Copies of this chain bind each other. A is one copy, B any other.
Amino acid sequence: MFSAIQTVYGAQPIDTLRTPAKIAVAFCTLALFMELALKKIVLVAFDQFTDIDLFLMWDILGRNTEDWHVRILGSSAIVRSAHGLPVSVHGPLSEANSADAVLFVSGKEGIPAALAAPDFLPSFELDSRRQRIGSICAGAFILERLGLLSGQATTHPDARSSLQALGLEPVDQPLVCQGNVATAGGCLSALYLVGWLVESWFDVGKRRATLLPVLPAGQQELYDALIGLSIRQGALYDRPSQQETRHGMSSNW
């Protein structure tokens, strides 16, 4: 970090700087530290992505700029939503490999096309030991192809049989968490996926603060309870993985 600061100051040793410059260096150091401390969340999109899946997480997560930053990734500069909205992406798919959290959106036609594209799956080298990884609806099929799922998972109710055909056990609930990997089903369950991510990184308070601004007026307590319940319900399938960890076994989740 100091080498970056010294570059700004022409490699002049910091202890020879005058007081205003020292203050500037301290400020710069703090800013760099804060930037490095921000968690990096990426949302993976593709042509024909389901609009709500991307935009719901984008909006909820985008309201907090102190704890994380969010970027939309795609294999082309512009991806077009299922309903025809063009979205300029912020970076290539490979950026996902260095992110702290990678969330895959869905797309009834977009997912099969993405899975069939020769450059899509090979872009990812994800590691669930150091990254949180999640999916909405048919995004689960990407996680499956990346070898991140086994046992129980959830997806959109209409895609449940397709998940079963892959040897997974589809669960009729909005969130299934296994270690650092979570699948969510039904577009609005993005609420629970985001809630799980924030709560697992921070705490219940940060999760509540993150989701509160989008909850319906007069029903905030009701939704807060429902979100908490759904996250707890999603964690029910986490036990085997947790037990493995307790016994010092490595987990491929």
Residues of A at under 8 Å CB distance from B?
50-52, 55-56, 58-60, 62-63, 83, 85-88, 154-158, 171-174, 184-189, 191-192, 213-220, 222-223, 226, 230
Measured between C-beta atoms, what is the minimum distance from A62 to chain B in Å?
4
A-B contact pairs, 19 of them (CB 8 A): A52-B59, A56-B56, A58-B85, A85-B88, A155-B217, A156-B213, A156-B217, A157-B217, A173-B217, A173-B218, A174-B218, A174-B219, A186-B214, A186-B218, A187-B213, A187-B215, A188-B214, A188-B215, A188-B223
Measured between C-beta atoms, what is the minimum distance from A217 to chain B in Å?
3
The interface centre, meaning the residue of A52, A173, A217 with most chain B CB atoms within 10 A of its CB, is A217
Known contacts A188-B215, A217-B155, A52 near B55 by CB under 8 Å: yes
- By beta carbon, the residue of chain B nearest A70 is B83
Q: Say whether A172 contacts B218, CB under 8 Å.
A: yes
- By beta carbon, the residue of chain B nearest A52 is B59
Q: What are the residues of chain B within 8 A of A219 when measuring CB–CB?
A: 173-174, 186, 226, 230
Q: Say whether A88 contacts B87, CB under 8 Å.
A: no
Docked Cα-Cα span, A62 to B84, in Å, equals: 10
Q: What are the residues of chain B within 8 A of A50 when measuring CB–CB?
A: 59
Leading 8 A-B pairs by shortest Cβ distance: A185-B217, A55-B55, A174-B216, A52-B59, A173-B218, A186-B216, A189-B216, A51-B59
Q: Say whether B173 contacts A192, CB under 8 Å.
A: no
Docked Cα-Cα span, A186 to B184, in Å, equals: 23
- By beta carbon, the residue of chain B nearest A192 is B216
- By beta carbon, the residue of chain B nearest A137 is B217
Q: Say whether A154 contacts B59, CB under 8 Å.
A: no
The interface centre, meaning the residue of A60, A171, A216 with most chain B CB atoms within 10 A of its CB, is A216
